[in-house]
């Protein structure tokens, strides 16, 4: 038998995207948007890796719309992401965790797609060089909703908000890039989940996992357990039971980075559950529906898992505000169904 050379087996993200375009799964515009996002992720990866060398650790001094300290890298990553999307010429509106309102791309450059993103998630981990990530989702313009534009704010602002506030079920594509010991770009265009690893030798994302399927169940749980005393009793009971060695003899194991992308990526590959519940102080939890919960829920469903707010599929939820928060329970089908039963 002939042995295949390694080079002939390599499939780059660019090559994969072109194949999807040729097969008619995505159009040329979406191909360009996705490749500009991957370019932004490569740049952010290099900024993250060099942060402590180039004096990019620490806070910027500003507080974002959600009342959180912006890190220097949050701000720079947001610029990188926005610039890559703008210069792609294929996005009409962009909405970011780090911007108060969604922004329309100047008309002369703009295309149709709507991109929601968190340019650098888990940024509390940056200064310790622990995993972070970028998360994104891509929608088409939602013309049906345009009719409902109210009269607060400028027409352009209204048009942007209405277009961005779509349920996750409308997502055309979603993904994330994890900045960890490897840099991994995970994407779905509605035909399964694919992972690409940045090969530092080529500077290219290379296909490393096709059609990822999340295990049906798993013994890792990933919750912000420091909030235990603030949780409601049903949730406390659920966690107590996970920690109870009976009847199997071994309780679940805790894994928590505090970086959604890292915690989710591990859950996707190993199975188990990630949760960020509501609590007495944060009535809707912490994570944002549009650019955190919905994209990862699209990915998990494409991998055969579930994303829930404890009662309902995340993807069915119609956002009413750009930075709306939502409790999130996501991971293996059986594990998410289990927590839903406790919370019912």
Residues of the shown chain interacting with Mg ion in the complex, contacts defined by CB under 5 A: 118, 121
Q: What is the CA radius of gyration of the chain?
A: 20
Q: Please report how close the Cβ of residue 128 comes to ligand AHM at its closest, in angstroms.
A: 13
Q: Please report how close the Cβ of residue 192 comes to ligand AHM at its closest, in angstroms.
A: 24
**CB contact set of 2 (below 8 Å; sequence gap of 6+):** none
Q: What residue is closest to ligand AHM based on CB?
A: 260
**CB contact set of 68 (below 8 Å; sequence gap of 6+):** none
When the beta carbons of 98 and 335 are compared against Mg ion, the nearer one is: 98
For ligand AHM (CB under 6 A), the number of binding residues is 14
Under DSSP, is residue 196 helix (H, G, I), strand (E, B) or coil?
strand
Residue 25 DSSP code: S
Handedness of CA 217, 221, 223, 228 (dihedral sign): positive
When the beta carbons of 27 and 68 are compared against ligand AHM, the nearer one is: 68
CA–CA separation, 333 and 69 (whole Å): 35
Nearest-5° Cα angle at 182, 331 to 334: 10
User: Around Cβ 27, how many Cβ atoms within 10 Å?
Assistant: 15
Extract the tokens encoding 193. Answer: 């989940």
Binding mask 241-280 for ligand AHM (x = CB under 6 A): -----------------xxx--x------------x----
Q: Which of 77, 88, 123, 267 binds ligand AHM (CB under 6 A)?
A: 123
User: Around Cβ 248, how many Cβ atoms within 10 Å?
Assistant: 9
When the beta carbons of 278 and 286 are compared against ligand AHM, the nearer one is: 286
Contact status: 301 vs ligand AHM (CB under 6 A)? no
Q: Which of residues 180-209 bind ligand AHM (CB under 6 A)?
A: none
Q: Please report how close the Cβ of residue 288 comes to ligand AHM at its closest, in angstroms.
A: 7
Q: Which of residues 38-57 bind ligand AHM (CB under 6 A)?
A: none
When the beta carbons of 127 and 199 are compared against Mg ion, the nearer one is: 127
When the beta carbons of 121 and 279 are compared against Mg ion, the nearer one is: 121
CA–CA separation, 149 and 159 (whole Å): 7
When the beta carbons of 118 and 301 are compared against ligand AHM, the nearer one is: 118
Nearest-5° Cα angle at 322, 71 to 287: 60
Contact 182, 288 (CB under 8 A): no
Handedness of CA 239, 245, 249, 251 (dihedral sign): positive
When the beta carbons of 276 and 329 are compared against ligand AHM, the nearer one is: 276
Q: Please report how close the Cβ of residue 106 comes to ligand AHM at its closest, in angstroms.
A: 27
Q: Which of 118, 279, 301, 335 binds ligand AHM (CB under 6 A)?
A: 118
CA–CA separation, 92 and 70 (whole Å): 26
Q: Please report how close the Cβ of residue 76 comes to ligand AHM at its closest, in angstroms.
A: 15
| Partner from ligand AHM, Mg ion, none binding residue 286, C-beta < 5-8 Å depending on class | ligand AHM
Contact status: 167 vs ligand AHM (CB under 6 A)? no
Binding mask 80-109 for ligand AHM (x = CB under 6 A): -----------------x------------
Residue 288 DSSP code: B
Pairing between β-strand 113-121 and β-strand 91-96 as defined by DSSP bridges? parallel
Is the N-terminal amide bond of 247 cis, ω within 30° of 0? yes
When the beta carbons of 121 and 335 are compared against Mg ion, the nearer one is: 121
CA atoms within 13 A on the CB side of 291: 23
Q: Which of 75, 224, 242, 296 binds ligand AHM (CB under 6 A)?
A: 224
User: Which residues here bind ligand AHM, judged by CB under 6 A?
Assistant: 68, 97, 118, 121-124, 224, 258-260, 263, 276, 286
């Amino acid at each position: 038998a002939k042995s295949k050379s390694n080079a002939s087996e390599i499939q780059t993200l660019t090559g994969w995207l072109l194949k999807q375009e040729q097969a008619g799964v995505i159009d040329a515009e979406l191909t360009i948007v996705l490749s500009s996002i991957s370019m932004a992720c490569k740049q952010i990866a290099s900024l993250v890796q060099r942060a402590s060398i180039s004096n990019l650790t620490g806070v910027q001094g500003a507080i974002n719309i959600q009342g959180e300290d912006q890190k220097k890298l949050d701000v720079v990553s947001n610029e990188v992401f926005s610039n890559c999307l703008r210069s792609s010429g294929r996005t009409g509106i962009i909405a970011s965790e780090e911007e108060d309102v969604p922004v329309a791309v100047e008309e002369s450059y703009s295309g149709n797609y709507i991109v929601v993103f968190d340019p650098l998630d888990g940024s509390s981990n940056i200064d310790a060089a622990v995993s972070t990530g970028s998360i994104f989702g891509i929608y088409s313009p939602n013309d049906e909703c345009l009719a409902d534009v109210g009269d607060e704010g400028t027409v352009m602002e209204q048009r942007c908000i209405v277009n961005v506030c779509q349920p996750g079920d409308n997502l055309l594509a979603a993904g994330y890039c994890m900045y960890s010991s490897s840099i991994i770009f995970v994407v779905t265009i509605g035909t399964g989940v694919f992972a690409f690893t940045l090969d530092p030798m080529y500077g290219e994302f290379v296909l490393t996992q096709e059609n990822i399927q999340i295990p049906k169940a798993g013994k890792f749980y990933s919750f912000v357990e420091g909030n235990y005393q603030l949780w409601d009793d049903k949730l406390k009971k659920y966690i107590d039971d996970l920690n109870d060695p009976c009847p199997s003899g071994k309780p679940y194991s805790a894994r928590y980075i505090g970086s959604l992308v890292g915690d989710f990526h591990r859950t996707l590959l190993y199975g188990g559950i990630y949760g960020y519940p509501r609590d007495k102080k944060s009535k809707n939890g912490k994570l944002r529906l549009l650019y955190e919960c919905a994209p990862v829920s699209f990915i998990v469903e494409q991998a055969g898992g579930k994303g829930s707010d404890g009662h309902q599929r995340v993807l069915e939820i119609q956002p009413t505000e750009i930075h709306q928060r939502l409790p999130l329970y996501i991971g293996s089908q059986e594990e998410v169904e289990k927590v839903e039963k406790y919370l019912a």
